[in-house]
Every structure is written in structure tokens, then in C-alpha cells.
Amino acid sequence: MQENKHYDFIILGSGMGGLTAAAVLAKNGYQVLVLEKNHQIGGSLQVFSRDKCVFDTGVHYIGGLDKGENLYQLFNYLEIYPQLKLQRLDDKGYDLIRFNDGTSYLHGQGYENFQANLIEQFPEEEGAIIEFCKKIKEICAYFPLYNLEEGDDKSTNYINDPEILAIGAWDYVSTLTSNERLKNVLLGSGPLYAASKTKTPLYEVALIMNSYLKGSYRPIDGGSQIAKAMSKTIRKYKGEIIKHKHVTGAEFNENGTIKSVHCKDGSSFTANNFISNIHPAVTLQIFGKENFKPAFYKRIQRLENTISAFMVYITFKKDAFEYLNYNSYEFFSDDTWSLTEYQGNDWPQMLFVCTPATSKSKKYAESMSVMSYLESSSFEEWQNTYNTISEPMDRGTAYEAFKKEKEGLILAKIEARYPGIKEKIHNIYSSSPITYRDYIGSPDGSLYGIAKDYNKVLATTINSKTSISNLTLTGQNIVFHGILGVTISGFVTSFEYIDKSKILNEIKAYENEL
């Protein structure tokens, strides 16, 4: 019975960051327990199915997975890579960026393809395109752990040069070219990181873009396979994972350290150390305002989060719509980087479109996922509802009707870009910002957690250590979001407890064996 057992580590939340920390610590001999509130583990790796089609909720494509690249090596250390079923996206273009006038541009895989495509379309801008690629690579070199290197400093922090964090991405690209279309094309996958001209740092763009340029893959039959493979590794090393455990509070020892956490169902679990994979603002509420410095508590609660999304999930009639081996960023404006501030009536201004890869057919798509930004305040009326498989609740017919309205707006724009698609659709489903809020536990259903801001580097950089000596943080708010970022965050957090050099050498040894 796990309730009577004492663990070395309890990890709150089974997102990829939490699972990574659990696997690394278990593999290094610690007794770990992961507590997850949902019916499914994986956080944003969760999937669901409709009409026998599997839909990803939060991971559509993953970078850094070509042989020898960073995530490939980390996944090998975590002993999951060989089990994964992955579809490599098109070399000539893994992302397509389409503007209001219908003109489209491809982001090719690999720096050579990326540059060649764009130089063909912007021959007079060759210098700017080459300089942009050079800068992206140069920035990535400042982050030792991103390159699986220890770095000069012996701290576990993954950042070596704070000045690099303070460069704005849009500002930087504006120094390279005055061609507005080129700027919007170079930074056209901005919805991947909720891009903002006045906030998004260049390093965030660099770390994410570089990873996609070095191996973009789609999970075949859903990203939950990654979470399942992680759970196998954790269990292989005697770690435990318990679902339906919604952590709500903690008990403390007299010396101010955490003794145990308790859950909504009344159960409680004790450990020496606790790692939270839950959003920092929520983590601090769980462990009690009184246990943190007031200024720190206030700062974390006030930090701005990235926007949420409305998702439309389409299932197709059999063999009706061809599979697209790339993602499409469909913009209904010429300005791709002002969408998070967009308040206009002609929503949506951007759609992220992808057809999930399945093992059933390579030629035809079974389904399509369509994402558009939407603030959770649009669903204000249902703010007090909570609905997950683990804790179900009917939000009512008015909620369903409101979602149908939004689906209709998205569908009209999809039809404009893919004429005739409506005839090919079997069924349409959708999820709202409050679906994300309930399933992930991030405030307002924020997609990527705390918004990074190059003007407020210190305030928006969250350390994995906290003022409670046996509590650390992991996940998308610690390093950067995305599967690569949170996997690195799991290692960063683990390095608070185990020898970084030893683990990095072991990661490299795996690479040499393969």
C-alpha cells in the first residue's frame, strides 16, 4: 500500500517534465512515486479518440529527433526511443506559412533546405536569411545543456549568459531586414510559442526553431505513446505512478520542510523530497502562501501566462482527404506576430492545421486538428465548472451551443483554405480553453505556461529550486515549453540531486553504443 510507504521523491503531475525527473531519479536508484490527478498520464501528451480516430491534445510535432540530436539522445538515455512510432515530416517543408493573400512559404528541414526555399522566394534577401540562420545556431550554443554539455559554470542552471535572454526576437529580425513579409515568414511558426513582438525573446525562438530544423517528427497513432514508454522505464526501475490523485495540500515538519502531500480523496503520501510538475502559481497555492516569501508568492501569482486555444477536431469520411506530411500555419492577416493581442470580431486570425499520422494509411488522413488562439475569458460563463474523465461534470447545453458557434467560424475559414473540405467531413468535435485548464491545471488554460518576456528576464525566469529546501519545480515553466524543453527541465531538476557530469557522460555513452 503506497500510502504507508516512504519515498525518496514524490513527483506531483505526470507531464513529460515530471515523468523525465521520475525516470532519471528512479534510474539512479531512488524510490519515486508520481501522483497524477487525471485518468491518463502525460499532461499535454494525453490523447482521446472519436470515431476510432486518435487525437493529440497538446503535442503535434516534436523536434530534435534526428539521429544524434539532443532529444534523440535524451530519449535513448530514458530508454524510450526504440519503442516510439514516428513519422518524419517533409524535408522540403515541415511547416507551411500561408498569408491572407493565399501566398505560402515552406520552412524546409535542415538549415540548407530552410535557406534554399527562402532564398528562392526572396533572392534579394539572401544575406538576411543566411544571417538569421547563423544567429539561431549561435544563440543555441549559449545553452550548454541544450547541447548536452556541462558548461563552464558548475551550477545546474542551463543558461550561461543572461544577456542573451534579453534580446527580442522581432526586434532582432527587424535589424536584418525591412522586408515585412520576410520577417513574418522567418518567424511564421510563432503560434508554437505564442509570439509577441514586445515580449518573445530571441533565445526562445532559436531553441525551438533549431530543434525543428534538426528533425521534425509526428507521433504515429498519438503522442501518448511517449508517456506510456516513460511509464515503462519508471516501472522498470521500481518507480510507481498513481492516477486519480489530485494533490490539494501538504503537511510540514517542524523545521519547515514538507512531510507529506494529501489528495482530494483524503489519501496522503510521505517522502524526503517533492518535485512539482504543476504550474508554479498553482504549486505555491498547494504548498501554502504562508510558506513562501510574500514578494516571491506575489510575483509568481502575477506573472502573465501565454494565451489558451480553441481546438477543432475533424474526422473525415473514408479516403476523402489526403494526408499532409507537414503542418500548416494559416494566417488571415499579414502580421503573424500580433495575434495574442488580437481582439477583433473576425476571429480567428490564425489556424494551426495538421493531419495526425496513423498506421492505417499513409495516403489519406483520418482526421485533422485545428488550433486557434482564444482567451479563456470567452468562456467566462463556465469558469466555475470543472470537467475531466476523472472528475466528470456536464457543462450544459449552452456551453455546447457556444462551442458549435466557434466551430462554425473556424470551419468557414478552413473551407476558404481547403475548398471542398466540408463535403469530406464525417464529424466535428471541439475543446475550449477551460478544457485545457481542467485537464492540465494551468491557469486560464494557458498553452505554454508563463510567458517569457525579454524585458523582464529575471522576473519571468523560474528557478527549479524553491525556498522550501525539499521542494523543487520542473516542467515547461522552468526551461522552455515543448517536449524538448520539458525533457531538459526534468534533467535540470534531477541535477539538483544527482551528479550532472555522470549523467551527461552516460547520455553520451548511450549514443556511442547505438
Q: Does 247 bind ligand FAD (CB under 6 A)?
A: yes
Stretch that binds ligand FAD, among 12-20, 67-75, 137-145, 147-155 (CB under 6 A): 12-20
Beta 471-473 vs 268-276: how paired, if at all? parallel
- Output 59 or 74, the one with its CB closest to ligand FAD: 59
Rounded to whole angstroms, the Cα distance separating 285 from 426 reads 44
Q: Does 59 bind ligand FAD (CB under 6 A)?
A: yes
Stretch that binds ligand FAD, among 40-48, 148-156, 340-348, 491-499 (CB under 6 A): 40-48
Question: Which of 173, 176, 168 is closest to 198 using CA atoms?
Answer: 168
Rounded to whole angstroms, the Cα distance separating 375 from 32 reads 37
**DSSP result, 29-84:** T--EEEE-SSSSSBGGG-EEEETTEEEESS-S-B-S-STTSHHHHHHHHTT-GGG-
For residue 32, list its beta bridge partners: 9
Maximum alpha-carbon separation in the chain: 69
User: CB 424 → ligand FAD: shortest distance, Å?
Assistant: 24
Using CB under 6 A, pick the residue from 185, 309, 425, 434 that binds ligand FAD: 309
- Output 177 or 211, the one with its CB closest to ligand FAD: 211
Using CB under 6 A, pick the residue from 440, 473, 488, 504 that binds ligand FAD: 440
Residue with cell 523560474: 462
Q: Does 262 bind ligand FAD (CB under 6 A)?
A: no
Q: How many CA within 13 A on the CB side of residue 151?
A: 20
Rounded to whole angstroms, the Cα distance separating 491 from 498 reads 10
Using CB under 6 A, pick the residue from 25, 26, 30, 44 that binds ligand FAD: 44
Q: Does 14 bind ligand FAD (CB under 6 A)?
A: yes
- Output 17 or 144, the one with its CB closest to ligand FAD: 17
Q: Does 71 bind ligand FAD (CB under 6 A)?
A: no
Rounded to 5°, the CA angle 512-208-233 comes to 45
Using Cβ positions, the residue closest to ligand FAD within the complex turns out to be 15
Tell which positions 352-391 bind ligand FAD, by CB under 6 A.
Answer: 371
- Per-residue mark of binding to ligand FAD, 178-217 (x: CB under 6 A): ----------------------------------------
- Which phi and psi angles does 425 have, rounded to 5°? -80, 135
Using CB under 6 A, pick the residue from 12, 33, 65, 78 that binds ligand FAD: 12
Beta 95-98 vs 327-331: how paired, if at all? parallel
Q: How many CB atoms lie within 10 A of CB 470?
A: 17
**Cell numbers standing for residue 223:** 503522442
Q: Does 348 bind ligand FAD (CB under 6 A)?
A: no
Stretch that binds ligand FAD, among 39-47, 156-164, 291-299, 402-410 (CB under 6 A): 39-47
Using CB under 6 A, pick the residue from 278, 300, 312, 370 that binds ligand FAD: 278
Q: Does 486 bind ligand FAD (CB under 6 A)?
A: yes
Using CB under 6 A, pick the residue from 7, 9, 11, 17 that binds ligand FAD: 17
Rounded to whole angstroms, the Cα distance separating 241 from 41 reads 9
With contacts defined by CB under 6 A, how many residues of the chain interact with ligand FAD?
37
- Output 150 or 304, the one with its CB closest to ligand FAD: 304
User: CB 62 → ligand FAD: shortest distance, Å?
Assistant: 5
- Output 186 or 478, the one with its CB closest to ligand FAD: 478
Rounded to whole angstroms, the Cα distance separating 330 from 188 reads 10
Q: Does 234 bind ligand FAD (CB under 6 A)?
A: no
Tell which positions 464-483 bind ligand FAD, by CB under 6 A.
Answer: 475-476, 481-483
Using CB under 6 A, pick the residue from 36, 204, 240, 444 that binds ligand FAD: 36
Question: Which of 446, 372, 455, 457 is closest to 197 using CA atoms?
Answer: 455
Rounded to whole angstroms, the Cα distance separating 434 from 378 reads 10
Q: Does 222 bind ligand FAD (CB under 6 A)?
A: no
- Output 119 or 286, the one with its CB closest to ligand FAD: 286
The CA-to-CA distance between both ends of the chain, in Å, stands at 39
- For residues 240-251, one letter each, b for 16 or more C-beta atoms within 10 angstroms of the residue's C-beta and e for the rest, the string is bbbebbbbeebe
Rounded to whole angstroms, the Cα distance separating 498 from 28 reads 8
Residues with Cβ within 8 Å of 255's Cβ and at least 6 positions away in sequence, in order, are none
User: CB 148 → ligand FAD: shortest distance, Å?
Assistant: 18
Query: 2 with 25: CB under 8 angstroms?
Result: no
For residue 7, list its beta bridge partners: 271
Query: 204 with 493: CB under 8 angstroms?
Result: no
Stretch that binds ligand FAD, among 37-45, 82-90, 123-131, 493-501 (CB under 6 A): 37-45
- Residues lying near ligand FAD in the complex (CB under 6 A): 12-18, 35-38, 43-45, 58-62, 245-247, 277-278, 309, 371, 436, 440-441, 447-448, 475-476, 481-483, 486
